A and B are shown apart, each in its own frame.
Chain A
């Protein structure tokens, strides 16, 4: 009877006499051959619910109608849980069947559109990840380590790498406002335009200016003149770094991009200029800062998009520790759980810019400057150090972390207890770690202060000397530099060496 009603409504119908037969038909013809499943709830061997559960697992986009004589609450609840789209009480009235079918067919179409879009976005994201991986876009051995985590499947951050046969290289990093599919399209457009123009020999400044005009004059037109759906301002912050290892210099163009840093061999970060001007797309002419910097032996360059700074703030840790953790996790197949809370796309790039490679590469976890102030909230500052350390090195032993925090506290308090003019009014704290996470170094710098160990017998330490004694006794090793005004406290993170300590 139902078959005749469906045929009368103009549908093509395939009939199965059991759950098993229905499954065989789906497997033979494919789920895409059907737009709706209608099944009775009660059948001889397996029930219609069994078929729904199986279908939900095989193809969740195919919507279904289930029929029964008994429309009790328990059954309806079970139907919902099994993924039924609609319910018809038997005997089925033609009008009810017609309206239920219309809803269910629409549901199947909607689900299939969503699935196709989702699949396309995932595909776009994979293409974007490939474009952001220099090892896959050039034939050269790349000196770049790239870590890219779009907030969704695809995002607006990009990196383009242009190596030259003579060793010079150009790195362009960009961040389109927003972190959705639209941002990904603008980002891909910029990357394509950039690649074409660079290969033609156009200067990066001219490319930035052209893209600025494209955004200001086209996409960001005044209200009413903008293309459909693009009434908001789209901007692109970008940074181009031209590196010449032979002349040990680099040239940086920056439009609204966060500060980039040189990393010294010791792990000390050196800022290259300031945040550069406005992003492209805001005003014409473009505001582009243009600076040159020297490159020292063993230098690396680190660049990140502003999503990293926002996320570090959200986590309560330093940008450096987040960058380190991201770089350390980049080889893992699955994104860590903590990364899912990132509010924006994240892109971190480390580039080897010097021809000489240091034996041990150190990476900063924290760099902070504290002014000499009457009220220095040492407990709050120490809590941030602790948070940063445990985030960057999650498996650091609490004993070793406490050692490091105590020594840092002692050194900073000693520095800040001195009068402002002598210390230059500030104290710098820097945490660095080697790439294999074997040793943590805490460096405290305070101009004018001597961190030399007390020369008296430990039994006769004065109150002032006791802190200094601690910072020289607890670390695995200690060294001084800059006439004693910088103390470098090294803490072994290896458990084997721990056992040898008193």
Chain B
């Protein structure tokens, strides 16, 4: 997982290098939590841009981890933007109503 602050948008960019699945969701959850606590909360950052453009599959465990991140940010008054590339991932995000709690942008 790579993260980088984008000053112009005041958003922290977190890139997921591939699929987000039951086999790596816990690792993502822990890394995301650490990044959010150190870089997002308590400064001028507006939120997180979660870059899933390299993912071709996100399963329910991956979705649960994303929802955990969204809730955590939301608790601090921060927003989440999810960038997806694969149409299948986009459809799963819509099916599971992720678009109601975060902004989904399809590249």
Residues on A facing B (Cβ under 8 Å): 378-379, 399, 402-403, 405-406, 409-410, 413, 458-459, 461, 463, 466-467, 469-470, 473-474, 502
Is B59 on the interface with A (CB-CB < 8 A)? Answer: yes
Contact yes or no, A470 B95, CB < 8 A: yes
How many A-B contacts are there with CB distance less than 8 Å? 56
Contact yes or no, B57 A459, CB < 8 A: no
Is B91 on the interface with A (CB-CB < 8 A)? Answer: yes
Contact yes or no, B23 A378, CB < 8 A: yes
Please tell me the number of chain B residues within 8 Å of chain A, measured between CB atoms.
20
Residue of B nearest to A467 (CB): B60
Is B43 on the interface with A (CB-CB < 8 A)? Answer: no
Bound complex: CA A468 to CA B63 (Å): 13
Contact yes or no, A379 B23, CB < 8 A: yes
Seed contacts A402-B56, A406-B88; 11 additional CB < 8 Å A-B pairs: A378-B21, A378-B22, A379-B21, A379-B23, A406-B92, A459-B100, A466-B63, A467-B60, A470-B92, A502-B91, A502-B95
- A residues less than 8 Å from B63 (CB atoms): 466
Is B87 on the interface with A (CB-CB < 8 A)? Answer: yes
Which of the residues A399, A409, A461, A473 comes within 8 Å of B59, measured between beta carbons?
A: A409
Q: Tell me how far the C-beta of A385 lies from the nearest C-beta in chain B, rounded to whole angstroms.
A: 12
Q: Tell me how far the C-beta of B38 lies from the nearest C-beta in chain A, rounded to whole angstroms.
A: 25
Is B72 on the interface with A (CB-CB < 8 A)? Answer: no
Instruction: List B33-63 residues whose CB lies under 8 Å from chain A.
Output: 56-57, 59-61, 63
Which of the residues A402, A413, A474 comes within 8 Å of B95, measured between beta carbons?
A: A474
Q: Tell me how far the C-beta of B12 lies from the nearest C-beta in chain A, rounded to whole angstroms.
A: 24
- B residues less than 8 Å from A473 (CB atoms): 95-96
- A residues less than 8 Å from B59 (CB atoms): 406, 409-410, 413, 467, 470
Bound complex: CA A162 to CA B81 (Å): 69
Given contacts A378-B22, A379-B21, A474-B95, contact A402 B88 (CB under 8 A): yes
Contact yes or no, B60 A470, CB < 8 A: yes
- B residues less than 8 Å from A474 (CB atoms): 91-92, 95
Residue of B nearest to A462 (CB): B64
The contact string, 1 if C-beta is below 8 Å from chain A, for chain B 14-36, is: 00000001110000000000000
> Which residue of B23, B59, B94 has the most chain A CB atoms within 10 A of its CB atom?
B59
Residue contacts A-B, CB under 8 angstroms, 29 given: A378-B21, A378-B22, A379-B23, A399-B88, A402-B56, A402-B57, A403-B88, A409-B59, A410-B59, A410-B60, A413-B61, A458-B96, A458-B97, A459-B97, A459-B100, A463-B64, A466-B60, A466-B63, A466-B64, A467-B59, A467-B60, A467-B61, A469-B95, A470-B60, A470-B96, A473-B95, A474-B95, A502-B91, A502-B94
Contact yes or no, A469 B96, CB < 8 A: yes
Bound complex: CA A404 to CA B22 (Å): 17
- A residues less than 8 Å from B87 (CB atoms): 399
The 8 A-B residue pairs whose C-beta atoms are closest, nearest first, are A467-B60, A466-B60, A463-B64, A402-B88, A473-B95, A458-B97, A399-B88, A379-B23
